Amino acid sequence: MNEHNDLAQSDSNGTVSTSLQPMSFVDILDGMFSLYRSHFQLFFRIVGVYLVFGFLINLISTAVVMGDTSITAVVISVLASIVSVLFAYWIGWGLAYASTQVYLTRDVTSQAALQRSSRCYLRLLGSMFLYYLVVVCLSITVIGIPFAIYFAFRWGLFAFPILFEETTLRNALRRSTELVKGTWWRVCGIMIAVSLIAFMIVFILQTSYAIIFYSLTGAEGAAEVGFLDTLRRMFVPTPNEIGWGLYIIHALGSLIISGLTMPIATIGSALLYFDLRIRKEAFDIEMQATQ
């Protein structure tokens, strides 16, 4: 049986609609980019919040730490890093909810997506804590590494039951287990492929940007430093080395690249979540009945 179908189809108005059918690996990859391209403005508005606040957090943290090695400065830097990570997760879960809505061709705004992420934030954070606690603890020993890998993919879709189904923290990992059960290898392969594609896009863009920026601003003193220090200056320069003006430009450009590539893997995971629900729970029939 030919499983392939056109996930994203344009109608006469140029908008993209999706068909609720089982998706092959190629369908998921194609839909990942098709949905991002057709709803770029929605995802960009969500990412825009990340760009603004992430940039401010980065500048404040850098300004405090520069030239100050006291315990207070270190604590502020660590707290800023924690806040930045928690903020990035909030944005990421907002992107995840937006992905579920655009796949179902429902109208959703960036504000509504971030509001849903805020409402479910504690449950998502709790599920994520349990997820990493189990995976990291199992990874401590050599014997536990295979089990850590197994549970990492078995529970990898925990965010979508909370965001889309509004399930409880306790049931989030269980729902992910139910969906992945019997298709672990397929889910593992798709999640690795989606993650690698997203990583390679980020890596290529960030590396290209770092090389171009360094060649234009810092290549003059390249012979005076070692290879590792040169790499550090390319990717993580300090204001003392290039000045605050160039540092702001570098930080902003790097943050924009990270932000614009954030939705790629998230959309791919959302498509995988719906594919599993369609295959296991006849979600497509359920949606047709409700409509």
Specify the range with the lowest mean pLDDT, choosing from 70-79, 119-128, 163-172, 187-196: 70-79
Of 147, 264, 153, 252, the closest CA to residue 209 belongs to: 252
Domain segments of the chain as ranges: 22-120+184-281
CB of 5 closer than 8 Å to CB of 275: no
pLDDT at position 43: 96
Radius of gyration over every alpha carbon of the chain, rounded to an integer in angstroms? 21
Averaged pLDDT, 160-189: 93
pLDDT at position 69: 65
3-state percent breakdown (helix, strand, coil) of the chain, nearest 5: 80, 0, 20
